[in-house]
Structure 1
Amino acid sequence: PDDDFRAIGLSRQKTKYINNVAQFSLDNDISFDYLNKMTDDEIVEYLTQIVGIGKWTVQMILMFPMDRPNVFPVDDLGIQTKMKAWYGVDLEKKELRSKLTQISEKWSPYKTLACKYIWESEL
């Protein structure tokens, strides 16, 4: 199977990550029925145990297939770029994430919807 992944253009590293997800799913429950019993933070903690799965990936799972209403993917480049322009934020890295998270608190409990509007909007 690894050769099949490589044949369609996936790197060795991405192939390894796909195998990590597959092995984790064989060893652990990752069904939506199981995950829906958890908070967003618990799901992030649970799924980021998988090497190759980061917080942003889990947040996208929370926002889209799981339809969780209050997710703010602060590390998303599209979110950062537009919010920096709209709110006049001239910060980087940790300070930027802190400021954008602070701004997003006003959107609670509808942060996911706000992010979808940001992604669809013009700069």
Structure 2
Amino acid sequence: MVLPEKVSKIKTFTKNERDLKLKKAVASLKSIDKKTCRLIDFVGECKLKPIGTPYYVIIKSIISQQLSTQAASSILKKINQYFDTENSIPKPEMIRDTSDKELRSCGLSFSKIETIKRISNSYSSGKLSDELLYSMSDRDVVNSLCEYKGIGPWTSEMVLIFGLDRWDHFSIGDLGLRKGVEKWYGLHRDDKMKIQKFIEKFSPYRSILSWYLWASFDTENWE
């Protein structure tokens, strides 16, 4: 894997600083237009936050590719039961040393097994790490992860939003987000170019808007 020659130092915040920054970001989004204001008022308080380490989100996102939430959750549950890891993801070395047949018994496809093992091998060898991803610019994160076969923009963007807490991403490949734009803004879900252009006005808080669009379909499960 070719690593970026330069990495950007990303500022981190305390919880109180982050909470205040998030409230200001939501207020900024509400000021953009009436439709966004209605969306935010419908969902309520923004509860966007990292769901785990970058490694956790990478593996979880690979498992979730092209699957319903229910199907992905079922596979994760089987993996947790097999490795006795409760609600976590097995350590890279555990996945690396597990046979494809055993991973297949958890419901993973062979292509996803190959991708997960590529990531686990890179983490085990030190070629990739959470610390390295934290230090990278958003563009370098996407470029580096997309060098792995089986990882594309959607998976990389989920890592940015839910693993690295980066706030300016809208994954145009996510059908749920495009359905949300159609529902709240009237743009057809299949007109990706128009949606991409439209979403630009929500920068630098496109991840937060994304969270609201997702949450608008299921307010109870986005705690």
Tell me the TM-score range normalised by the shorter chain: 0.7 to 0.9
1:116 paired to 2:211: yes
Unaligned runs of 5+ in 2: 1-98, 219-223
CA distance in 1 between partners of 2:107 and 2:165 (Å): 30
Residue matched to 2:138: 40
- Which amino acid is the alignment partner of residue 206 of structure 2? K
Cα deviation code 1:49-92 (max 9, x no counterpart): 01111110010010001100111111111001121233222363
Residue matched to 2:186: 88
- Which amino acid is the alignment partner of residue 138 of structure 2? D
Superposed displacement of residue 28, structure 1: 5.2
Aligned mate of 1:71, from 169, 173, 179? 169
1:72·1:111 contact (CA, 8 Å) conserved in 2?
yes
Residue matched to 1:99: 194
Residue matched to 1:6: 104
Output the TM-score relative to the length of structure 2.
0.50
Specify the SS of the correspondent of 1:20. Answer: helix
CA distance in 1 between partners of 2:122 and 2:140 (Å): 16
Residue matched to 1:54: 152
Alpha carbon RMSD of aligned pairs, Å?
1.9
CA distance in 2 between partners of 1:122 and 1:5 (Å): 32
Displacement over 4 Å in runs of 4+ = none
- Which amino acid is the alignment partner of residue 11 of structure 1? S
Unaligned runs of 5+ in 1: none
- Work out the percentage of aligned pairs sharing the same amino acid: 32
Structure with bigger RCO (C-alpha 8 Å, 6+ apart): 2
Distance 1:91 1:35, change over 3 A: closer
Residue matched to 1:15: 113
Specify the SS of the correspondent of 1:36. Answer: helix
Instruction: Indicate the structure (1 or 2) with the bigger Cα radius of gyration.
Output: 2
- Which amino acid is the alignment partner of residue 196 of structure 2? T
Specify the SS of the correspondent of 1:5. Answer: helix
Superposed displacement of residue 111, structure 1: 0.8
2:175·2:189 contact (CA, 8 Å) conserved in 1?
no
